[in-house]
Amino acid sequence: MTGANTLFPLVVETAQVRRRGKTLIGPVDLRLDGQGTTIVIGPNGSGKTSLLKMLHGILRLGQGRISWGCPMAEAQRRQAFVFQTPVMMRRSVVENIAYPLRLNRVSRKVALAEAGIWAERIGLGGDALQRPAVLLSGGERQKLALARALIRKPQLLFLDEPCASLDGRATREIEEILTEAAASGTRLIMSTHNMGQAQRLADEVLFVLHGQIAEFSAAEAFFARPHTEQGRAFLRGDIVE
């Protein structure tokens, strides 16, 4: 990928996000380099989504700083974010996928051709190309959202629980797309509540608790023996408060 090393490292220094007097996330100190898949786990309400949004720049910092290996404007152009419940525009499948390219002033003909290729890759080619995206199933919407994010060839893709509420088949299809994206050079930072999925995909694990990073380690080491009692309890399936 052209300029693949310019986005990283991502360095976070005492970063904190507050809203209405409540701390959502932080303070966080973190360094991520440019390879692999980072899986973010933790109890419900622990701050996983807030952490992803903070790193992506959706949430404004109350204190601290986040820096990239390139200017912030360039870093933002090289990223994409897939939400747990993706928004479908009132357009066809192929037009939804092509939309990011059209925003970047790619010609309609070229954008639709590229979108058609992506639609085939995610199983929404052929007659499905002209279907209204708002009529898709949950799994189909999530696959479309992934294609819409990946068509720009981002160096970094954030994903917030992309397989929540999906059945096994849809989850497997999503994971295949993510595995291919990672193999092609896209850096993934993804939250999940599915420990089996975390073990399948993770190169490293961020365990979030009370809005802070309780553990950050290689996936193999974390799943073998977390450093903290809270991490061990979480893997056992215990309630962690």
Nearest to 188 by CA among 179, 199, 197, 176: 179
Q: Note the pLDDT of residue 1.
A: 42
Provide the H-helix boundaries in 57-137: 72-77, 93-103, 108-121
Per-residue pLDDT band at 5 (split at 50, 70, 90): low
Q: Note the pLDDT of residue 2.
A: 42
Q: What's the burial of 21, exposed, middle or buried (CB within 10 Å: 0-12/13-18/19+)?
A: exposed
Q: What confidence tens digit (pLDDT) does each residue in 118-142 have? A: 999 999 999 999 999 999 999 999 9
Q: What confidence tens digit (pLDDT) does each residue in 193-213 have? A: 999 999 999 999 999 999 999
Q: Name 56's Cβ contacts closer than 8 Å, sequence gap at least 6.
A: 79, 81, 158
Q: Note the pLDDT of residue 166.
A: 87
Spatial distance between the Cα atoms of 100 and 74, rounded to a whole number of angstroms = 16
Q: What confidence tens digit (pLDDT) does each residue in 11-39 have? A: 999 999 999 889 999 999 999 998 899 99
pTM for this predicted structure: 0.94
Q: Give the 3-state secondary structure percentages of the chain, helix then strand then coil, rounded to 5.
A: 40, 25, 35
CATH architecture of 10-88+136-236: 3-Layer(aba) Sandwich (3.40)
Residue 54 to residues 2, 151, 155, 229: CA-CA distances in angstroms?
26, 23, 18, 27
Q: What are phi and psi of 132, to 5 degrees?
A: -60, 130
Nearest to 65 by CA among 99, 97, 17, 98: 17
Residue type, 95: E
Domain boundary assignment for the chain: 10-88+136-236
Residue whose tokens read 């608790």? 209
Q: Note the pLDDT of residue 35.
A: 84
